[in-house]
């Protein structure tokens, strides 16, 4: 698996593999999928980009809100489910991930990262005391449910919260 951390401005702070000696510069040091590097970054950014100090939206929730469910029920419990409409339909097409060769120079540690992934594995990162949004964590390399569990565990295990 790969784990990415972005700060409140969306700058990539860290991208590491969870097994031995992997880095984006040396992905051969890891048995995790190479494509998961970019996916983990985009999941972290997605969780950050659609959260605020008042409301947390992880990448799984963003994904549910972007599904083409309509026409359908507009009841709050149905939005983002097969029975409801998708209030954020098309969001995933608005800001695709740019590859390292994208020419914009923003996909490395200390640079801004942009891109949206609308499936589980991205969690917002909050200060538990002040309830301030600090950044996002993204995990990729296993099933989406496992990615989501590891991302939540990374946030809470480091002493932070996944919601305000």
Is 36 domain-assigned? yes
What is the reported pTM?
A: 0.80
Total domains in the fold of the chain: 1
* CATH number of domain containing 127: 3.30.450.150
In a domain, 137, yes or no: yes
63 found inside a domain: no
Instruction: Kindly tell me the sign of the dihedral angle through the C-alpha atoms of 63, 116, 7, 101.
Output: positive
Asked if residue 46 is part of any domain, the answer here is: yes
Q: Is residue 101 part of a domain?
A: yes
Cα distance between residue 99 and residue 94, in whole Å: 16
Q: How many CB atoms lie within 10 A of CB 1?
A: 22
Q: Is residue 12 part of a domain?
A: yes
pLDDT digits 0-9 by tens, 95-146: 766 554 444 555 555 555 568 888 899 999 999 999 999 999 999 998 889 9
Containing structural domain, residue 109 = 2-55+95-157
């Amino acid at each position: 698996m790969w784990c990415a951390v972005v700060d409140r401005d969306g700058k990539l702070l860290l991208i590491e593999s969870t097994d031995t000696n992997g880095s984006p510069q040396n992905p051969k040091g890891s048995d995790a999928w190479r494509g998961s590097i970019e996916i983990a970054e985009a999941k972290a950014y997605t969780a950050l980009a659609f959260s605020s100090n008042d409301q947390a939206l992880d990448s799984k929730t963003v994904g549910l809100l972007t599904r083409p469910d309509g026409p359908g029920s507009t009841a709050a419990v149905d939005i983002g489910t097969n029975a409801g409409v998708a209030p954020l339909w098309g969001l995933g097409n608005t800001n695709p991930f740019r590859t390292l060769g994208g020419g914009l120079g923003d996909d490395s540690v200390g640079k801004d990262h942009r891109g949206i992934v609308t499936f589980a594995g991205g969690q917002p990162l909050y200060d538990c005391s002040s309830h301030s949004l600090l950044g996002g964590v993204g995990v990729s390399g296993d099933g989406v449910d496992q990615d989501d569990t590891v991302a939540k565990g990374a946030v809470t295990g480091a002493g932070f919260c996944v919601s305000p």
